[in-house]
Amino acid sequence: MVFSSPTFLFVFLPITLFVLVFLRGRLQNGFLLLASAFFYLWGGGAAILIIAGVALASYGLAWLPWGRWRERPSRAILRLALAGSIGLLLIPIFIAKYLPVIGAEVTGVPLAPFVLPLGISFFTFHALSYVIDVATGSIERERRLLDYALYLFVFPHQIAGPIVRYSEIRAEMPGRREAPLPQLGVGFARFSWGLAKKTLVADPCGQLATTLFTLNAAGDQLTAADAWIGAVLYAFQIYFDFSGYSDMAIGLALVLGFHFPENFFQPYRSISITDFWRRWHVTLSRWFRDYVYIPIGGNRRGPVVGIVALVVTFSLTALWHGAAFTFLIWGGMHAAMLLIERFTGLRRTERFAVIRRMLVVVFLVISWVPFRSGSVPQLLSYWHSMFAGGRGINPAVITGVTPFLVLAVVVAVVSLFGPRRLTGFATVFGTRSTRDTAGMRWWLAIPATVILFAASVVAILVTGFSPFLYFQF
């Protein structure tokens, strides 16, 4: 069950919201926990035991005497206990995501991969941030298991983010969360906005992109035009798919009384790759910055340590997405660009903004290819087609151009190159943050929400629905 499925839109969500209206206090949290567990059970089956185990383990680890260990002159025990806690919480993700790959490399025999539990990277990082924050004294441990379990399980963010730290919603966990009518309106508008991005833009772009990448994987030689069309469409797909999911999660959270952090800030308008990582998947970037990059030393201990910290951070970011050399290539490309911008000073200047934005877009289109390719040979073949392919257009491209795709590309291009005031939820509807309802342009939001939701439902019924790309992570 995904946010863009009829079952979720017309059965699960209405029933959940209807029941919550009549509940108060802890009963509301208890029912929401049960509903979220059912939501995960529907899509993840027995894998719910993994997220339940991670929840119990991280909750228990927070009760270790971290405060006493922090007060000791030597912090050896604190560091050892924290390292052990992190290692313990990483065991499920290691077994499910990396052990089959490592085993195949060691033995030379392909091993049957584990079925990757839905959202395992996301809920593991939620649990890690909680334990690390408690251990370092950033927050107090949560005494109520129900509240903490709800934090990990609550269905808007359990499968694909955004990565929410417990401190960000802790005050909203106990008791009844009041969601005033304006907040409900913003929440439903934001949800419909994200649903439209997914169904009206990401999915049509993804259909033809998938066709072209599949042809490349099968050994068919793509022309240069084919390859660039597929790469550009995938760049559109991954942005509108993932940012659409984040919009939907943030909107649903508002309806439930939570305020999730923003996850995207128009990243394809970035003036540099440094700027891009301030705008793309912000909660993941912030997680690695605070829990990996800064603890290693960041840029405070000289250029050598800064280089090491950056390379380690992006290596782990790449491996977070999957145990494949293609992800490491993608991460290496971004790390290299960040280092170039750091040592040339490009990250600190806004000169030649228009040209640099165009170059950033070209780099991103090229760098998404290893992210999408299933293997290094497929990646090299695709890049070869992009830069040394023949002329002409594959018939699959001609037959794959549908009215839905034309509309999707127009919307994507306007979002990327159009006037800033015409793009983005905040600039269209007038809200500056999830807590800002005063600036909402209701005269536009109400009809737009109805139209976007109706158009998205029609698209779902006509073309079917597809899972979000980041479910695989």
- Please determine, for residue 110, whether its predicted confidence score (pLDDT) is greater than 60: no
Split at pLDDT 50, 70, 90, the class of 43 is confident
Helix, strand or coil for residue 154?
A: coil
Burial 56-86 (b: 16+ CB within 10 A, else e): ebbbebbebebeebeeeeeeeebeebbeebb
Per DSSP, 324 falls in state S
Q: Sign of torsion, CA 33 35 38 39?
A: negative
Residue type, 315: S
Q: Range with the lowest mean pLDDT among 326-340, 343-357, 397-411?
A: 343-357
pLDDT per residue as tens digits for the range 402-453: 888 999 999 888 887 777 666 688 888 888 777 777 778 888 889 999 999 9
199's tokens = 């169904």
Tell me the H-state helices in 154-272. 166-169, 181-196, 203-217, 224-256
Q: What is the pLDDT of residue 275?
A: 93
The residue whose two tokens read 């737009």 is 448
Confidence of residue 108 (pLDDT cuts 50, 70, 90): low
Half-sphere exposure of 359 (CA within 13 A, CB side): 10
d(CA 152, CA 122): 9
Q: Is the pTM of this model over 0.85?
A: yes
CA dist., res. 348 & res. 117, Å (int): 41
Q: What whole-number percentage of the chain has pLDDT above 70?
A: 93
What pLDDT sits at residue 359?
Answer: 93
- The answer on pLDDT for 155 being more than 90 is no
Looking at 36-45, 272-281, 293-302, 415-424, which range is the least confident one?
A: 415-424
Is 157 one of the catalytic residues?
no
Q: How far is residue 288 from each of residues 67, 128, 283, 412, measured CA to CA in Å?
A: 24, 11, 9, 29
Which of the residues 126, 321, 334, 384 is marked catalytic?
321
* 105: Cβ contacts below 8 Å, ≥ 6 apart: none
Q: Give the pLDDT score at 438.
A: 78
Burial class (CB in 10 A: 0-12, 13-18, 19+), 281: buried
CB atoms within 10 A of CB 453: 18
- Number of helices and strands (H, E) in the chain? 24, 0
Q: Which two tokens stand for residue 329?
A: 């290539």
Reply yes or no on whether the pLDDT at 179 is more than 90.
Answer: no
Average pLDDT of the chain? 87
Q: What angle do CA 145, 148, 150 make, to 5 degrees?
A: 105
At 350-360, the pLDDT tens digits run 788 888 889 99
Q: Which residues contact 339 (CB under 8 A, 6 or more apart)?
A: 307, 310
**Secondary element (H or E) of residue 343:** helix 325-344
Residue 103: pLDDT over 70: no
- The predicted structure's pLDDT at residue 121: 86
pLDDT the model gives residue 396: 84
Q: Is the pLDDT assigned to residue 102 strictly greater than 80?
A: no
